[in-house]
């Protein structure tokens, strides 16, 4: 029988209010919201004043509260709250993907030490139950890849640029007016948000906790009208897509970049604030999930789903974390990209293995070719500072295998195409 839960909530912004609405309008679920901890004492809120507190210890010291729901923005403050709650034997639900991505090791250890549950479905892909899908349905199947559209804000912006033919700055402004993008949209448009989500999903897909700082993330801030026109003329849409992909039995890669998506992809018609996730298994093939990736109620519903699961004693088992320690993360991968650049000096900064297309005129130049992913990672600042735009062109990844040649005392690079 489900246990009636008493909840302490941290944060009452967009998602917190969504949770409050969903909780109060759900039937058949036994839970009560005991306390909501916020910071701003001057802000008016549409809730009873007796629920409001400005002191975190009103929740953490309350022995009747068994579940802490953390929905604040500050990642380090969130980690302090979550870790203290777990030490005190409280179960935790969070939607803070940055906090999770940066502290997975510590949080995994705390869950095991204090025998509590830490659930975070809402931190991944909005209303899509991707984490539980990976945990429960693909726990014993080797996966080839997890990819898709993980950020509803950037997908809305990109949809406007392609479908409505408006510029990136105007599309960004529209997304802010509709409440999808923050006044400072850096986290979304520079690719941090989908990167943190990819780091989280890599744990559940391949059983590895990876360093977020080593994961390349290229966003859409340098997108220009010429790039939009190029994509449209080729019949593509542009999507900001994380890639979590197995390269062989021992290696996998994780990165985030724009990608040209053709009409034969299931992601082609995933528009506006919607997310779409492709999971490809060794035996089951491709599975496709779609749902809203932004908004108060969809994300609030995902949080409530985790709270509901706690009432039945649910917790992540991290089966692949124990099974797949031999799999290693790598950036030594060749990828095929479109690079729009400003002048010959820009192009000379990049060591392409092969250039398949090249176009040059006074105001618009680009190449399409294959390049080492690690080189893009090390030159990310140059790309942003000089307003270059990069998009993946194909799904083909090539693992770089470095073999020592003893006689010559050098390293020879051999490439094998593993995924078409």
3-state secondary structure of 291: strand
Phi and psi, residue 322, nearest 5°: -80, -30
Beta-carbon neighbour count of residue 204 at 10 Å? 24
What count of residues does the chain have? 420
CA distance 295 to 13: 11
Give every CB contact of residue 312 below 8 A, 6+ residues apart in sequence: 2, 3
Is 142 in contact with 159 (CB distance < 8 Å)? no
DSSP conformation class of 208: -
Is 124 in contact with 201 (CB distance < 8 Å)? yes
- β-strands 216-217, 285-292: how paired? unpaired
**Catalytically annotated residues:** 197
DSSP 323-380: H-TT-EE---EEEEEEEEESSHHHHHTS--SEEEEEEE-SS-EEEEEEEEHHHHHHTH
């Amino acid at each position: 029988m489900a246990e009636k839960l008493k909840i302490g909530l941290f944060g009452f912004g967009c998602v917190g209010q969504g949770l409050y609405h969903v909780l109060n309008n759900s039937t058949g679920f036994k839970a009560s919201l005991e306390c909501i901890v916020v910071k701003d004492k001057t802000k008016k809120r549409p809730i009873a004043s007796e629920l409001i507190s400005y002191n975190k210890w009103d929740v953490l010291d309350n022995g009747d509260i068994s579940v802490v729901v953390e929905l604040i923005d500050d990642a380090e403050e969130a980690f302090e709250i979550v870790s203290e709650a777990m030490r005190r034997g409280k179960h935790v639900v969070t939607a803070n993907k940055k906090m999770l991505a940066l502290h997975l090791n510590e949080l995994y250890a705390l869950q095991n030490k204090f025998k509590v549950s830490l659930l975070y479905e809402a931190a991944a892909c909005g209303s899509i139950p991707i984490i539980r899908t990976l945990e429960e349905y693909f726990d014993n199947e080797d996966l080839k890849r997890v990819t898709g559209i993980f950020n509803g804000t950037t997908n809305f912006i990109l949809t406007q640029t392609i479908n409505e033919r408006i510029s990136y700055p105007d599309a960004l402004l529209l997304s802010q007016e509709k409440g999808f993008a923050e006044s400072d949209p850096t986290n979304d448009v520079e690719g941090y948000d989908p990167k943190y989500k990819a780091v989280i999903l890599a744990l559940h897909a391949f059983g590895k906790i990876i360093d977020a700082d080593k994961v390349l993330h290229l966003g859409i801030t340098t997108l220009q009208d010429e790039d939009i026109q190029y994509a449209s003329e080729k019949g593509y849409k542009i999507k900001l897509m994380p890639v979590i992909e197995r390269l062989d039995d021992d290696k996998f890669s994780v990165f985030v970049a724009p990608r040209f998506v053709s009409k034969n992809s299931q992601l082609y018609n995933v528009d506006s604030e919607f997310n779409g996730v492709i999971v490809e298994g060794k035996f089951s093939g491709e599975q496709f999930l779609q749902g809203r990736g932004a908004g108060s109620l969809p994300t609030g519903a995902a949080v409530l789903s985790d709270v509901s699961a706690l009432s039945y004693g649910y917790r992540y088992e991290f089966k692949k974390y124990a099974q797949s320690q031999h799999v290693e993360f790598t950036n030594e991968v060749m990828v095929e990209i479109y690079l729009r650049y400003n002048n010959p000096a820009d192009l000379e900064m990049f060591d392409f293995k092969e250039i398949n297309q090249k176009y040059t005129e006074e105001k618009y130049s680009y190449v399409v070719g294959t390049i080492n992913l690690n080189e893009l990672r090390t030159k990310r600042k140059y790309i942003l500072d000089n307003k270059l735009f990069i998009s993946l062109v194909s799904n083909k990844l090539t693992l770089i295998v470095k073999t020592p040649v003893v006689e010559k005392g050098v390293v020879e690079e051999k490439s094998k195409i593993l995924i078409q």
